[in-house]
Amino acid sequence: MKTWSARWLTQNRGFAGAILLFLALYITYNFMHPRGFSTAVLVQNSNESVAIAFVAMAQTIPVLMGGLDLSVGAVMTLTSCIASELVNGSPAQMLLGMFLTLLSGAAFGAMNGVIVVYGRIQPIIATLATGAIAIGLALLVRPKPGGDVDGDLNWALTNTVWDFVDTYGGNPDAGWLAPFANIPVPLIILFGVPLLVWLPFRRSVTGRTIYAIGSAEGAAYMSGLPINRAKIAAFTLAGFFAACGGLYLAIQTSSGNADTVQAGTYTLNSIAAVVLGGTALMGGIGGAIGSLVGALILRVISFYFRILDIDPLLQPLIEGVVLLIAVSFGAFRTLRVKNRLELFR
């Protein structure tokens, strides 16, 4: 006889741990920051977290099937370059540009899925190759860094709701707006997209099939689940989330930059964020929201270097050690198992 909350906790131990770790780290950071708990700090922190959080969510979905997508960072870079060409002009043109950016990311993801399913190639190898293709396309679209994403859009989407309304000619001091005025727009985007896209998807047959593939692909196949459809859908959704990250990155920087190194960094960090967020690399357990929190943890660790006095050349080392400790929390359950066979679950 378990209560509802106790059952949720046993099923989402990694996720719950990630949330606790994030809250502990972030609240401490705010106490130490001279302007902690202010809107300005929250806006700044959420801005720098959006792109990596979306890429981490993109990575989650192939990982849930027991695969890795090494192209997510590259797709983010490609779509940010596309957005830097398309997102300007009249509001309608900008919206069309955003739509085309997201569409191109999803299409690229779908291509990954088709290659994996019908080419019967391991995801990690297939996406290693397509990631290089994405970078190549990004360099074609934008051989030199630049582009002119609308300046107002940049300001409106990287600030609070107050500034958003103010930029687009509304009355930012309207009474009905007061409760929301200080919420950063990037936070709304960051939580809004997964709520609207990921949660409904997870409940669908295709979504649940992804979990089933990660747990036991053979059993899922024998049960008549739509395996191929689910795999293609998983990579398509990964491409879509990576494109969300790319679109935001382009708007945030008002430009595009086919930065190969940055693409690689984002791919690797996305894997770290997925693990931090409680998703098992073997597949079958976890979810995109966990990875979102994982990405936030990754970011908060680096926030500390700005308020503490740490030798700059030691910072990467300390970041790595903290990351290792954080990831090790997930291994604590192995200390409590009564039967060693449980480890293989």
Partner 1 sequence: MTTKLKLTVAAAAMMLASTAAWAGPEVVSGPGADPGCFAPWDESTTYFQWPAKEGPYRVAVVNGFVGNTWRIQMIKTAKAFSEDPAIKDKIKEFKVVSTGTDAPAQLGAIEDFINQGYDAIVTIAVSPDGFDRVIRLADRSNVVLVPFDNVLDTDKVMQINENQLEMGRMYGNWVVDQLAAQGKTSGKILEVRGLAGNSVDRDRSIGINEVLDARDGPWERVSVVGNWDDGTAQKVVADAIAVHGHFDAIAAQGGTTGVVQAMLDSGHPMVPIAGEAENGYRKLLAAHSGDGLKGISIGQSPGLVAIAMKAAISALEGNVMPQLIAVPLPVATYDQLEDGVNYWTDLPDNFFTVNEFPPCGVNITGPAIMAQDESDVN
Q: Taking a C-beta distance cutoff of 8 angstroms, is the pair 56, 269 a contact?
A: yes
Q: Is 334 exposed, middle or buried (0-12, 13-18, 19+ CB in 10 A)?
A: exposed
Contact map string, positions 188 to 227, toward partner 1, x by CB under 8 A = ----------------------------------------
Residue 167 as a binder of partner 1 (CB under 8 A): the answer is: no
DSSP 8-state code for residue 309: -
**By C-beta, is 306 or 333 nearer to partner 1?**
306
Residue 133 as a binder of partner 1 (CB under 8 A): the answer is: no
Residue 112 as a binder of partner 1 (CB under 8 A): the answer is: no
Residue 255 as a binder of partner 1 (CB under 8 A): the answer is: yes
Buried residues in 136-172 as b, exposed as e (16+ CB within 10 A): ebbbebbeeeebebbeebbebbbbbbbbbbbbeeeeb
Nearest of 54, 76, 67 to residue 291 by alpha carbon: 54
Stretch that binds partner 1, among 115-123, 138-146, 204-212, 236-244 (CB under 8 A): 138-146
Query: In angstroms, rounded to a whole number, what is the distance separating the alpha carbons of residues 218 and 225?
Result: 10
Nearest of 2, 27, 70, 22 to residue 263 by alpha carbon: 70
Residue 158 as a binder of partner 1 (CB under 8 A): the answer is: yes
Distances (CA, A) of 275 to 23, 65, 253: 17, 14, 28
Amino acid identity, position 176: W
Nearest of 47, 101, 53, 45 to residue 75 by alpha carbon: 101
Close Cβ partners of 140 (under 8 Å, ≥ 6 residues apart): none
Q: Which of 215, 257, 267, 270 touches partner 1 (CB under 8 A)?
A: 257
Residue 320 as a binder of partner 1 (CB under 8 A): the answer is: no
Residue 169 as a binder of partner 1 (CB under 8 A): the answer is: no
Residue 49 CB, shortest distance to partner 1, in Å, is: 8
Residue 332 as a binder of partner 1 (CB under 8 A): the answer is: no
Stretch that binds partner 1, among 47-55, 58-66, 215-223, 330-338 (CB under 8 A): 47-55
Query: In angstroms, rounded to a whole number, what is the distance separating the alpha carbons of residues 33 and 47?
Result: 17
**By C-beta, is 101 or 257 nearer to partner 1?**
257
**By C-beta, is 181 or 216 nearer to partner 1?**
181
Residue 182 as a binder of partner 1 (CB under 8 A): the answer is: yes
Residue 163 CB, shortest distance to partner 1, in Å, is: 9
Q: Taking a C-beta distance cutoff of 8 angstroms, is the pair 209, 230 a contact?
A: yes
Q: Which of 16, 125, 262, 323 touches partner 1 (CB under 8 A)?
A: 262
Q: Taking a C-beta distance cutoff of 8 angstroms, is the pair 301, 322 a contact?
A: yes
Residue 112 CB, shortest distance to partner 1, in Å, is: 23
**By C-beta, is 165 or 249 nearer to partner 1?**
249
Q: Which of 277, 303, 326, 330 touches partner 1 (CB under 8 A)?
A: 303
What count of residues does the chain have? 345
Q: Taking a C-beta distance cutoff of 8 angstroms, is the pair 121, 263 a contact?
A: no
Structure token digits, residue 115: 């290659």
Q: Which of 18, 19, 25, 52 touches partner 1 (CB under 8 A)?
A: 52
Q: How many residues bind partner 1 (CB under 8 A)?
A: 52
Residue 307 as a binder of partner 1 (CB under 8 A): the answer is: yes
Residue 134 CB, shortest distance to partner 1, in Å, is: 14
Residues that bind partner 1 (CB under 8 A): 33-41, 44-45, 47-52, 139, 144-147, 151, 154-155, 158, 182, 249, 252-255, 257-262, 265-266, 299, 302-303, 305-307, 309, 311-313, 315-316
